[in-house]
Structure 1
Amino acid sequence: MYPLRCCVKKYEWGRKGMDSAVARMVKNQIPEYVVDDDSPHAELWMGTHPSGPTMIVSSDPELDGKTLLNLLQTYPEYVGTVNIVNKYGDNLPFLFKVLSVGTALSIQAHPNKKLAEELHRTDPFHYPDANHKPEMAITLTDFEAMCGFRPHAEIEAFLDNVPEFRAVIGNEATTNYKNASDKKQGLKQLFVTLMSAPETVVIQNLEALVQRWSREETIDPDKEALRQLFLKLYSQFPNDIGCFAIFYLNYLKLKPGEAIYLGQDEPHAYIVGDCMECMACSDNVVRAGLTPKFKDVKTLSNMLTYISKSAKEQIFEPKIVDEFTKSFVVPVPEFVVDEIRVDESHVSLAFEYTVTKKESGSILIVIRGEASCNGTQLTPGYVGFIPAVTALTINQLKSPLLIYRAYCRTD
């Protein structure tokens, strides 16, 4: 296993100082690393993407300081078996991350492969990749997100009971949506109408809802949670049309270890918390709200699937591999994420567990715990690359362990 040093992204939405899981992990591995209290640490990138290359750490001067991509180009068999190398070349097809979210990310979706290629060809500045970007988030802490369109009955209830939301949509568009025989098409028309609303109308009704909900009190916990979410989003992005997203996107409050899969062309936004994230190796984002960045409303409106599901249906369930490992197997071949969790009852220097070999290379990160792995000391924040067809042994367990490992499927 090759120890890695990974790229830190200090996006403004990241948690600041040592409140950030990213900052704590990096600091634990590099004691001399300086963490400023006012500096956001948003993402830790683990992979071969050129926008955030990962570096090898080695006592061998021939390897130390070289990129992981250099290593894989030198030893393509580390990437995977012949089938995998033929499919993806001397590169990893996934990008693995730790995210520490302090301020809501933009309402966004990621284009499918064909659209990604077209956007990259016509607007490479805003769309730097020609690849699709399906992704999955596995929570490390309590985590809040918006994900996928709500069931139609819920959206209709908000149109009936939140006059400010209905005022932006308009009575005609509301009626057309409620009476639509094709609910997907009706939802698309509703979304386009909302996103095309005059700025003055949007601002007027956002301000009206802020004033009303700032005064109101409610004993209904669901309504109170939504009220608090709206006021939080408005405080972060005043007068942004994305604040209305709470009425058409599912609001999820996830517990540590829960996951959501964000397929191509599906709208979502992270709100707060720490998570693992894995995706196809891409950095393409189409945004439409809760952001000062470039918004491409037309592209987003045309690309979304407009599939409605309940919040509960958005939770992605893992497969149980054995007593210690769960596997999050998503519907795309570029990545799988395994969770290896060993609790207090198994802490012992006699403990031993095999990290099984995979047909592709993989990246492993330690979230918590201390142990040994083939002579390497594992501590929080350790990141390592495991070449394809390589098994490792974890032993000398000193404290409860939580590890995540990303690799690609062979089909």
Structure 2
Amino acid sequence: MRRLHGAIRSYAWGSHTVLAELTGRPSPSGRPEAELWLGAHPADPARVDVAGSGESLLDVISADPLGQLGETNASRFGGRLPFLLKVLAAEEPLSLQAHPNSMQAREGFERENADGVPLDSPARNYKDDNHKPELVVALTKFEALAGFRDVRRTVGLLRALGVAELDRCAELLAAQANSSGVRALFTQWITGDEHSATLIGGVVEACQRYLCAEPDGVAGEFAAEAQTALELGSRYPSDPGVLISLLLNRITLEPGEGLFLAAGNLHAYLRGAAVEIMANSDNVLRGGLTPKHVDVPELLKVLDFRPGSMPVVSADSDGRDNKHVYRTPETEFALTRLHLDTSRNCASSSAATLAAGNPRIVLCTAGSTVLLSHCDSLELGAGHAAWLPASNPAVTLAPAQQHAQVFVATIGSG
């Protein structure tokens, strides 16, 4: 086992304080820090402490795929680590986006290669040939838009805002209350016309009226949706993403709660800190709320327009309240959250064991933990991580102080 140093990614929507404070660096940082990458993606691999120096995790795995991943995993995933672990710190909303499935990613990657689009081009949609399902688990209260809302509730929201154009849209959607109706309205709004800016302005004003009309401070049924559209409209006053936000589920995750996003799921993270695990990909198709490259025709090819709720993923407990497993259908990744606490009556809650045989990234997000394996030990404070290759013997985790919260990322079963 070796200490793992993540790569900080700076985007405009990031925080000047969250990642700096988590990793024990001076705060505020000089630039917004949005993501901490802990993985072996070629765009920004983490670095492993090897013989007193830092070596790319990508190179470490490439040099010894059987020892690092295990024979079965190396064969299944072509000698590549199939997941990417991140910490997100969103101070402002991310772009409206979706990710392709495996077939779409392969075809798009090959097509852009054939067209000669450089990998680092801002106009590039497909940075690799992999799909990107993802699971996000909140570290703080975490706000998001995700998935097309149940049509009946969307019709109710559009009518509640009291805008004549939205009333007409509500009638059309109510008459075709399925994915085809959602697709038609989405396409009408995302492609826009000369009247779009006027409609966006009218929606923003309507949201403000709706919020001001709340009696005695009691929030209306659609207060969160109206507040979100109002905030997005102030940042992106002519962006059709403001209208699209009215079609999406508005979700609030409390710390420890998760959200799983399959391919084609339209979403935008709004604010908060979270741990995120995904298939090892950086493919993003954007539809708005960003100064970055937007490709609406390509986005329309991958979107899943089926309306419905987005269930919160609550981790399964092992019964001792220290091990919480987040279940998803994906085979590339699995995520577990550990609560290690010496003050609890149950002695087993103060330690956890990771069996040998699978590669793992261990990330401490609160307190500090000690990893013990035979005669080897490694202490991780908050914001620090470790790489455990498949060939590593079993590892025991215990809190170095009174408590620790630890996330363990590994390859899924199946």
TM-score normalised by length of structure 2: 0.88
Query: Counterpart of 2:249 in structure 1: which amino acid?
Result: N
Q: 1:45 and 2:37 equivalent?
A: yes
Using the alignment, how far apart are the partners of 1:347 and 1:205 within structure 2?
60
Instruction: Tell me by how many angstroms 1:10 deviates.
Output: 0.8
Instruction: Tell me by how many angstroms 1:36 deviates.
Output: 4.8
Using the alignment, how far apart are the partners of 1:307 and 1:358 within structure 2?
41
Using the alignment, how far apart are the partners of 1:270 and 1:120 within structure 2?
25
Instruction: Tell me by how many angstroms 1:376 deviates.
Output: 1.4
Cα displacement string for residues 289-339 of structure 1 (whole angstroms, at most 9, x for unaligned residues): 2111111212222322212222xx421232223421111121110000010
Query: Counterpart of 1:388 in structure 2: which amino acid?
Result: A
Instruction: Tell me by how many angstroms 1:358 deviates.
Output: 5.2
Cα displacement string for residues 30-88 of structure 1 (whole angstroms, at most 9, x for unaligned residues): xxx55555511100000000111111124x24xx2211122222322333332211111
Query: Counterpart of 2:3 in structure 1: which amino acid?
Result: P
Structure-2 residue corresponding to 1:404: 407
Structure-2 residue corresponding to 1:57: 49
Corresponding pairs, count: 393
Any conservation in 2 of the 1:79–1:90 contact (CA below 8 Å)? no
Runs of 4+ more than 6 Å apart: 347-351
Residue pairs, 1:183-332, within 5 angstroms: 183-198=178-193, 200-215=194-209, 216-219=212-215, 220-221=218-219, 222-310=221-309, 313-323=310-320, 324-332=322-330
Structure-2 residue corresponding to 1:73: 62
Structure-1 residue corresponding to 2:11: 11
Using the alignment, how far apart are the partners of 1:305 and 1:238 within structure 2?
26
Any conservation in 1 of the 2:13–2:34 contact (CA below 8 Å)? yes
Helix, strand or coil at the partner of 1:365: strand
Query: Counterpart of 1:410 in structure 2: which amino acid?
Result: S
Moved more, 334-343 or 394-403: 394-403
Using the alignment, how far apart are the partners of 2:36 and 2:346 within structure 1?
31
Instruction: Tell me by how many angstroms 1:354 deviates.
Output: 3.2
Any conservation in 2 of the 1:349–1:398 contact (CA below 8 Å)? no
Any conservation in 1 of the 2:331–2:412 contact (CA below 8 Å)? yes
Query: Counterpart of 2:408 in structure 1: which amino acid?
Result: R
Change (3 A) 1:176 1:224: closer
Can you give the 5+ residue segments of structure 1 that lack an aligned partner in the other structure?
none
Give the CA RMSD over aligned residues: 2.4
Moved more, 6-15 or 239-248: 239-248
Using the alignment, how far apart are the partners of 2:243 and 2:342 within structure 1?
44
Using the alignment, how far apart are the partners of 2:368 and 2:158 within structure 1?
52
Instruction: Tell me by how many angstroms 1:351 deviates.
Output: 7.6
Using the alignment, how far apart are the partners of 2:334 and 2:73 within structure 1?
14
Change (3 A) 1:223 1:38: farther
Cα displacement string for residues 239-292 of structure 1 (whole angstroms, at most 9, x for unaligned residues): 211112332100011110000000001111100000000000000011112111
Moved more, 120-129 or 265-274: 120-129
Helix, strand or coil at the partner of 2:54: coil
Instruction: Tell me by how many angstroms 1:231 deviates.
Output: 1.9
TM-score normalised by length of structure 1: 0.89
Structure-2 residue corresponding to 1:392: 395
